[in-house]
Chains A and B, each alone.
Chain A
Amino acid sequence: MPRTEARLPRLALSCLFAIASSAGLATAARAQDAANPAPLNDTAKNWSTFNGDLQARKFSPLTQITPENVKDLKVAWKVHTGDMSDGSGTTPPSVWSATPLFVNDTVYLGTPFYRIFAIEPDTGKVKWTYDSKGELKALTQPDLKNRGVAYWQADAPVAGQACDKRVYIGTMDAKLHAVDADTGKPCADFGKAGVLDVNAFNTTNAKWPLSLLQPPTVFKDYLLLGWAGKDWDQTVDSPGTIFALDARTGALRWEFHSLPPELINKTGTANVWASMSVDPERQILYIPVSSPSPNFYGGDIPEGLEVITSVTALDIPTGKMLWSRQLVHHDIWDLDTNAAPTLFDLEKDGKTIPALIQTSKQGFLYILDRTTGEPIYPMEERPVPKSTVPGEHSAPTQPFVDLPKPVVPDKWPGVYDLADWASFGYCSRTAKSLVDEGRFTPPSLQGSLVYPGTIGGTEWGGGALDPRSQTFVVNSSSAVQTYQLLTRADYEKAVSGGSETGGLFPQTGGPYGMNLNTFLNPLGMPCWKPPYGTMAAYDLKTGAQLWNKPFGQIQKWGFYMPESWGTITIGAPVVTATGVIFIGASMDSRVRAIDLKTGEVLWKSLVEAPAVAMPAVYDYKGKQYVVFTVGGNSILTPRVSDEIVAFALPN
């Protein structure tokens, strides 16, 4: 579930802010993937899916904006949707991470108030809006979240035929809406009068609605849908499912269950809350499966469950599992697989290997054969620390990947002197009191120092790939967290003691509650050494890291901290054929262009709030646009916005 953000204590975050088928690739990229037929809806000029293409490459073949002229980018248009909340009133705060889509000569966006905006791509004039009237309540997430909309069109759409082209938006209260892409009118043949109640499928351990915050993945006439919930509160929750729906009617074609039926009375979730990717030629769906509930205690969960915290391949026509590669055994750290794997054909040692690269919270970059799930670069099982918590049976080994180099190191960076001095030694004293046995240090009753923690490594955006050079770029966060299990009695005392401000989670139904915090000093400064966020590039042909640089700037009270500190990053990059990376993702209300070759910042521009989304790149009437959703993440910084801003070169 996209609860990662939700769990960051505001203090931590204030400090840390204080911290678009596929064959939409250009000719070069098309040549690269000649074997892959162009999926529906996609041209080189469009950005028609959440990740730019079904393979989640986040690559645009457009060439108008180059490293040389990117400095001349100017605002082309802006739109304010009015849909934002800082949480000061009765409406929960908004978190807006929607990727804008450009298709059907229109920019489409979903808002955190679950409305759809259709916008003219060159002027920013709003064509139409649709209001789902979704409940604006914190039903599963503490914030109103939306990561955008999905687009589908018939094989041969007839002009003027209603709903031959559709836009879909999901809501927090589990309603999936389908509207005509030209008019914004509901599609009467979908669900009931254009609305499908996905929660009708929520029949096991239902405690909350299956929130639809991530737009469905569209392939042919399938809508492939995951959901978000919450897995820190209860031990037994709704079990993880993927729904394959008919894009026209909403009828359920099949569902996939990540948990075996015999376990549904002991656990839950292991759901897919992030985006997914598709191999169009092979008709395979790749799903990032999260951890089971409760997140930090697995005493009731047997070993050997291969699908949880995994990347898993499903046959789209049947829904059958083809293979599953578990990335964390017996996950008791909430290390959800949290981003769509990027699919590509790896040129290595004179061979072309159908591959995928999976980013992760644990910071490993897993490169697998996407037809078998077998590692292409070595994955090694290594012994890891054993849990000392009564009842827990942590896994004796975990898979490690050394190549490509992980985005975060194996050991935490150590106490930052400045934070330690400023707190009269609080950081070093606390570090000494915590259990620290390196990667995969299990949660403990004493309190464990966990690195990377659940907010570390790479978040739901994943990375971007230049398929021609096979260069992969990815932003990541370096965050140290403390995990302490509390016996039920101690948990009740802690709650009644009034300290329910920084990460007390009940895990009701199990023997332990949880106290999870970001490792900060009393002044709110991170106790660990910067950089807190970086961006890195990799040559996938060799696995070599090409560059790795601090990314973003921390702001505290408006004051910018040194660039060498970087920031926690949420959102993702896109790459263009000219070697320009566009990214928001930082906590300092800036969007940037970065040189793919060197990592140097080529251009940056202030926007209203942190752009915690991935941008879209498109061409309309011969002009290349880069459009950012600027919504902020109210958990990270108080600054939220309702702004969509498009940049282009002057005429």
Chain B
Amino acid sequence: MSTRSASLSTSGAWLMALAALAGLAVSIANYFNRDSGIAGEPGTLLVIASTAIMLVAALILARASRLGGFLRGFLVIGCLVDIFGTGFAAYLLESQALLWLMVAGLVGWLLHVFGPARDLKAIPTS
């Protein structure tokens, strides 16, 4: 086992959080805007929930400097699954704004995981 810096970029996490927040706002607007084509639909509720979860997870990743490795890993993987799931739902809901926001979220995730390190914390790797 070796260790490397858990140098996950907070800027990436902040980008994810912003994308999730904007996605949440778009989805709520779609739910209540009767001209959206998806107002009041269960699928729209689903993306409201998924973007809200993504927002909370991304904020934790951005703000919490002392996270256990398992929890951080869980949140990082969870965010990726959420981004792809929400993106696919956005595709089927034909919500282009949400789809592009999930692309932005994915960029944030990539930055978070592979971007330049800032606050460093040693975590075990193998």
Contacts and interface: CB of A to CB of B under 8 A. Distances in A.
Contacts of B94: 560
Contacts of B93: 558-560
28 contacts: A555-B37, A557-B41, A557-B42, A557-B43, A557-B46, A558-B37, A558-B38, A558-B42, A558-B43, A558-B44, A559-B43, A559-B89, A559-B92, A559-B93, A560-B92, A560-B93, A560-B94, A588-B37, A590-B37, A606-B36, A606-B37, A607-B35, A608-B34, A608-B35, A608-B39, A609-B34, A639-B39, A639-B40
Contacts of A557: 41-43, 46
A252 B42 CA distance: 52
B41 A558 contact: yes
A629 interface: no
Interface in B27-69: 34-44, 46
Given A558-B93, A560-B93, A606 B43 contact: no
B96 to A, nearest CB: 12
A49 interface: no
Contacts of B42: 557-558
Contacts of A560: 92-94
A75 to B, nearest CB: 9
Interface in A373-387: none
Contacts, number: 34
A589 B93 CA distance: 13
B93 to A, nearest CB: 6
Given A558-B37, A558-B41, A608-B39, 14 more contacts: A555-B37, A555-B41, A557-B42, A557-B43, A557-B46, A559-B89, A559-B92, A559-B93, A560-B92, A588-B37, A590-B37, A606-B35, A608-B34, A639-B39
A641 interface: yes
A555 B42 CA distance: 11
B123 to A, nearest CB: 39
A606 B93 CA distance: 13
Contacts of B36: 606
Interface string B63-105: 0000000000000000000000000010011100000000000
Contacts of B46: 557
Nearest to A86: B40
Interface string A323-361: 000000000000000000000000000000000000000
B13 to A, nearest CB: 29
Q: Is the interface of A mostly helix, strand, loop or mixed?
A: loop
B23 to A, nearest CB: 15
Given A558-B93, A560-B92, A589 B37 contact: yes
- A559, A560, A608, A639 interface centre (most CB from chain B within 10 Å): A559
**In the A-B complex, the 7 residue pairs with the closest CB atoms:** A558-B41, A558-B43, A559-B92, A558-B38, A557-B42, A557-B43, A608-B34
A555 B43 CA distance: 10
Of A557, A558, A588, A589, which is in contact with the most chain B CB atoms at under 10 Å from its CB? A558
Interface in A607-622: 607-609
Contacts of A641: 34
Nearest to A643: B34
Contacts of A555: 37, 41
A557 B39 CA distance: 10
Contacts of A608: 34-35, 39
A442 B39 CA distance: 42
Contacts of A607: 35
B36 to A, nearest CB: 7
Contacts of B39: 608, 639
Contacts of A609: 34
A557 B92 CA distance: 10
A443 B1 CA distance: 74
Contacts of A558: 37-38, 41-44, 93
Contacts of B37: 555, 558, 588-590, 606
A607 B37 CA distance: 7
A275 B35 CA distance: 30
Nearest to A559: B92
Contacts of B38: 558
**Residue from A557, A588, A607 with most neighbouring chain B CB atoms (10 Å):** A557
Interface in A554-579: 555, 557-560
Interface string A177-189: 0000000000000
B60 to A, nearest CB: 29
A270 to B, nearest CB: 40
A393 to B, nearest CB: 49
A559 B38 CA distance: 8
A555 B92 CA distance: 9
B107 to A, nearest CB: 25
A639 B92 CA distance: 18
Contacts of A639: 39-40
A47 to B, nearest CB: 24
Nearest to A589: B37
Nearest to A641: B34
A557 B93 CA distance: 9
A557 B44 CA distance: 8
Most buried by A among B37, B38, B40, B94: B37
A606 B39 CA distance: 11
Interface in A526-555: 555
In the complex, which of the residues B35, B36, B46, B89 has the most CB atoms of chain A within 10 Å of its own CB atom?
B35
Nearest to A606: B37
B15 to A, nearest CB: 27
A309 B38 CA distance: 40
A64 to B, nearest CB: 25
Nearest to B93: A558
Contacts of A606: 35-37
Which residue among B34, B38, B40, B89 has the maximum number of chain A CB atoms within 10 Å of its CB? Answer: B34
A588 B37 CA distance: 7
A558 B34 CA distance: 12
Contacts of B44: 558
Nearest to B31: A558
Interface string A612-651: 0000000000000000000000000001010000000000
A589 to B, nearest CB: 5
Contacts of A589: 37
A284 to B, nearest CB: 44
Contacts of A588: 37
Nearest to A608: B34
A464 B42 CA distance: 36
A559 B92 CA distance: 5
Interface in A184-208: none
A82 B39 CA distance: 18
A81 to B, nearest CB: 14
Residue of A589, A590, A607 with most partner-chain B CB within 10 A: A589
A606 B36 CA distance: 7
B97 to A, nearest CB: 13
A559 B36 CA distance: 12
A606 B40 CA distance: 15
A590 B38 CA distance: 11
A607 B35 CA distance: 5
